[in-house]
Structure 1
Amino acid sequence: MIVMKFGGTSVQDAASIRNVCKIIDSRKDKRPIVVLSACAGITNELVACAELAADGNREEAQDRLEKNVYERHYTIVQELIEDLREQDLLIRHIRQHIDDLSHLLYGISITGDLSPRVLDFALSYGETLSTSITTVALREAKMRSILADSRECIITNSAFGRAEPLLEQTRIACEANLLNHVMEGRIPVLQGFIAANEEGITTTLGRGGSDYTTAIVGSVLHADNIEIWTDVDGILTADPKIVKNARRVQEMSFQEASELAYFGAKVLHPSTLLPAIEKNIPVTILNSKRPEIEGTRITALTARTDSAVKSISYKRGITVVNISSTRMLGSYGFMKKIFDVFDFFRTSVDLVVTSEVSVSLSIESSPDMPGLLRELEQYGTINLQENRAIVCVVGEKIIDERGLAARIFSRLQNVPIDMISQGGSDTNMTFVIHEQYIGEAVSMLHEEFFPA
């Protein structure tokens, strides 16, 4: 059994969905379960509609819903589904969902309530629409597909907007709602990103959560392989928007891929690999536009290669918080107090560098940055460096490679470095620079480690 996930660009229009059906058909002997994202751009449209309604602009929200959501899916159905009866039934089905969304937007405009719980429910319609269409398209292509509801399969806590799966309950639900279909030769099609808590209330796994859905399902059902179908040929040696000649990485370890995902690689959601790592299930990254390309295979262990570096990643929107205090000198418990503040303000820390009298921490954002800084000021002088980026050089042999740091920083001698971190992981060397230097830094490092 395999679990296949197709992202938004893979189901963005009729031609793309037709292509997805061909890919699934080529793998039907492997007993696939299919997970889909919303059509490209639809989640953003639903967010915009909900925000407009919350601001009291109900008519504008409704107009946007009709033009950018309903008409988009209506066009896909007309171009994709040939059987007129199936086409009519599917359009009616979509119309009902749009009407339900309209009622929800009306309620939001009256109450002004756009809590994470309400937003999760609004966003769930994107994946509901894409899976409804694709299930019918698969049947028309002579495959025994069946539409499943992720809310009956993925059971989470009630952290709306970024819910976490309850794995034992999810295992029981997936076995009950998916396994029999697979064993009997049917192809379940379920929504990525969306789930439900134990009371049956819709939750979401956060942006990029369709990858996470795929890994969760693969993990609890002990799949042989997890396939993530995107619009790139796999994991590349660098962002192709910066490095035009970036190359495909054929094999990568879970550790390497996890570092890349966390530090900005767009191909994978940061949480995706965790369930796969626990069950040692290979993950393959593939391109739905070029299915003949082998992609990148991610496994627990990979063959040793000549190059110490596998890929270079980066993450924008970083703020470095510098805390200076002579009270740190020779004291204990100081770091705990600082991290208790970050914990209280629910702020994740990426990198930490310390000296005898100062500590520097990099963060992406904080729900209450002014409050966080006020609380930290009681422990020392605070200095912020904003508009920063983390650049991460990844490879399993990095810690054993003599002279690697010298190669990196000699190459970047004209780029100001704000912070350097190595040692927390034996698979990466990480540093912080101003965002304006990202293109220069990534390009130069790619030239150094992946010469033409």
Structure 2
Amino acid sequence: MIVCKFGGTSVQDAEAVRRVAGIIKARLKDKPVVVASAMGKTTNGLLQAAETAARGKRQEALDLLGKIRERHYRETQKLLAGSAQEAVLEALGTHFKELATLLKGLAILGELTPRSMDAVASFGERFSTLILTEVLRAGGIAAELMDARQCIITDDNFTRAAPLFDLTDAAVREHLLPSIKAGRVPVLQGFIGSTRNGITTTIGRGGSDYSASLVGAALDAYDIQIWTDVDGIMTTDPRMVPEARRVKVISFDEAAELAYFGARVLHPATIVPAVRKKIPVHVLNSYKPEQEGTLITDEARPCENPVKAIAYKKGITIVNITSTRMLMAYGFLRKIFETFELHKTSVDVVSTSEVSVSLTLDDISKLWDVVTELRKISEVNVDGGKAIVCCVGDNLRNIPGLAHLVFTAVQDVNVHMISQGASAINISFVIDEDRLPHAVRSLHDVFFQKLDPNIFE
């Protein structure tokens, strides 16, 4: 049994959906379970409509919804004919009526809560899987549309809900195994789940990868395939460095670091369920299904190149916290991180001295609440417009001279923070965002002039 997840660009229009149907048909012998994202940009459009409605612009919100409806109707009409088309259009119509009612309610209330955001955002995946299931049936595949909200059970942290693993494992097996045993192909939505009380949740933007990994782990799949619009994990972002090369094989730990530090191929949490069961993950290109992509495995393979890939994360803010009163005192760090915990704000990179702490944030939605609290115990200043650069490779911490190579490559770039040694497989540093392209290109030139053919292509 395998799990095949298809991202938004892989189901963005009729042509893409037909390509996906061909990929699934070619893998029927492997007993695929299909997880799909919303059509590209649909979720953004739905949330824009919801935000517009909450500002009291009822008709404008309905007009935005109308454009999304027209797109889904148009692609359905290209894909299906006769009674199959009629059935899908009718089901879509029911969904859009429900959405319109939600938007009207938001316009009256004038407020968009996280719970309401999840209710609205969930429709994108429900649209796409409805269409995809019927296209598979029309192609002779015994597909069955499932409701991910019955399978992915989460807490109630709306918009960033955390899956409850034991409950999810049991629910996935309960709802999907009978379909699989009957020879059908289950099709379910990525990104969405529900609380134990059945309230719709989402597991964070890009969470369809995570959904696929949760399903694969629960079913003990032997392969999880993440189908996207790139050739796999690359040595860096090819939009920034056109000479970037494909990484053929990489370890779970390395892939997780890359995902967390900005490599957009995978959702950062994707790897966790797969690691639990040691299930290999393939990152593949739905536009070039014949290519082998990138294999993510439990153990790192020997590599002549010390660095496997370079990732980056933009939009970073540094928070500098200083208190001379805390010199030689204990409990200072605890007070700092309790403040971040209180405001549910995660930290990326940390650097400390006797009297000061510098740390980075990529989510600043609660920044000023955090700063206000921290100023009760210290001086605080905030410095935005930064980026994190992260070099990832197996056992980097124990390679003599690696830091020299890294910082020689960026010797003309001001480095604000450095993190090395906390992880054996990465070295990270923070720079001004406007210097990011130069830094990444310089690092790529240093580490990928000569490539290990067993690891790179």
The TM-score normalised by the length of structure 1 is 0.98
- 1:269 pairs with 267, 270, 275, which one? 267
Structure 2 Cα separation of the partners of residues 430 and 328 of structure 1 = 27
Question: One-letter code of the match for 2:390?
Answer: C
Contact 2:409 2:442 in 1 (8 A): yes
Instruction: Tell me, in whole angstroms, the C-alpha distance in 1 between the residues paired with 2:189 and 2:158.
Output: 17
Distance in structure 2 (CA, Å) of the matches to 1:374 and 1:227? 45
Shift of 1:419: 0.4
Match of 2:213 in 1: 215
Q: Map Cα deviations across residues 182-240 of structure 1 (whole Å, 9 max, x no partner).
A: 12211000000111111111111110111111011111111111110000000000001
| Contact map agreement 1:345 1:367 (CA 8 A) in 2 | no
C-alpha deviation, 1:357, in angstroms: 2.0
Pick the aligned partner of 2:89 from 81, 86, 91: 91
Distance 2:96 2:70 in 1: 10
1:79 is paired with a residue whose SS is helix
Q: Does 1:165 align with 2:151?
A: no
CA distance in structure 2 between the aligned counterparts of 1:86 and 1:371, rounded to whole angstroms: 53
Contact 1:346-1:367 at 8 Å conserved across structures = no
SS in structure 1 of the partner of residue 232 of structure 2: coil
Q: Which runs of 4+ in 1 moved over 6 A?
A: none
- 1:8-56 CA-partner distances (Å, limit 9, x unpaired): 0000000000000000111111101000000001001100110111111
Q: 1:138 & 1:332 partners in 2: Cα distance?
A: 62
Give, in angstroms, the shift of residue 141 of structure 1.
1.0
In the alignment, which residue of structure 1 is the partner of 2:453? Answer: none
Q: How much has 1:99 moved relative to structure 2?
A: 1.1
Q: Secondary structure at the match of 2:100?
A: helix
Counterpart residue number, 2:35: 35
Contact 2:11–2:17 (8 Å) recurs in 1: yes
Matching residue of 2:293: 295
Aligned partner of 1:75 in structure 2 is 74
Q: Is the counterpart of residue 325 in structure 1 residue 309 in structure 2?
A: no
Unpaired segments of 5 or more residues in structure 1?
none
| 1:335 matched to 2:295 | no
Deviations 1:240-278 (A, max 9, x none): 110001100011111101100110010111111111111
Q: Following the alignment from structure 1 to structure 2, what is the Cα–Cα distance between the partners of residues 77 and 193? A: 22
What is the TM-score of this pair, normalised by structure 2? 0.97
| Displacement after TM superposition at 1:327 (Å) | 2.5
Residue equivalent to 1:21: 21
Residue type of the partner of 1:335?
Answer: L
> Does the 8 Å CA contact 1:3/1:218 hold for their aligned counterparts?
yes
Separation of aligned partners in 2, 1:313 and 1:303? 20
Find the aligned partners of 1:86 and 1:302 in 2 and give their Cα distance: 47
Count of residues in correspondence between the two structures: 450
Equivalent residue, structure 1, for 2:227: 229
SS of 2:376's equivalent in the other structure is helix
Q: Does residue 252 of structure 2 align to residue 254 of structure 1?
A: yes
- Give 1:368 deviation, angstroms: 2.6
Distance 1:354 1:387 in 2: 21
SS of 2:349's equivalent? Answer: strand
Q: Which residue number corresponds to residue 115 of structure 1?
A: 113
* Matches of 2:345 and 2:158, distance apart in 1: 17
Tell whether the 8 Å contact from 1:346 to 1:366 is kept in structure 2 after alignment: no
- Counting only pairs closer than 5 Å after superposition, residues 53-202 of structure 1 correspond to structure 2 as 53-67=53-67, 69-81=68-80, 83-202=81-200
Q: Which amino acid aligns with 1:7?
A: G
Which SS does the other structure have where 1:321 is aligned? strand
User: For the residues of structure 1 that align with 2:340 and 2:385, how far apart are their CA atoms?
Assistant: 20
Q: Is the 8 A contact 2:251 2:301 kept in 1?
A: no
Over the aligned positions, Cα root-mean-square deviation in angstroms equals: 1.1
1:286-318 alpha-carbon deviations (Å, 9 max, x no partner): 000011110111111132010110000000111
Letter in structure 2 aligned against 1:169? L
Alignment match, 1:47: 47
Helix, strand or coil at the partner of 1:222: coil
Within the candidate set 386, 392, 396, 1:388 is matched to: 386
Task: Provide Cα deviations, 1:349-375, integer angstroms capped at 9, x if missing partner.
Answer: 111111122111111123332221122
Tell me the CA shift for residue 325 of structure 1: 2.0
Report deviation, 1:324.
1.9
Unaligned runs of 5+ in 2: 451-457
Q: What is the match of residue 420 of structure 1?
A: 418
Alpha-carbon separation, structure 1, partners of 2:412 and 2:364: 31
Could you list the per-position Cα deviations for residues 148-187 of structure 1 after superposition, in whole angstroms to 9, with x for gaps in the alignment?
0001111111111111111222122111110111122110
Deviations 1:85-143 (A, max 9, x none): 11111111111111111111111111123111111111111000100000010011111
Which amino acid is 1:75 matched to? Answer: R
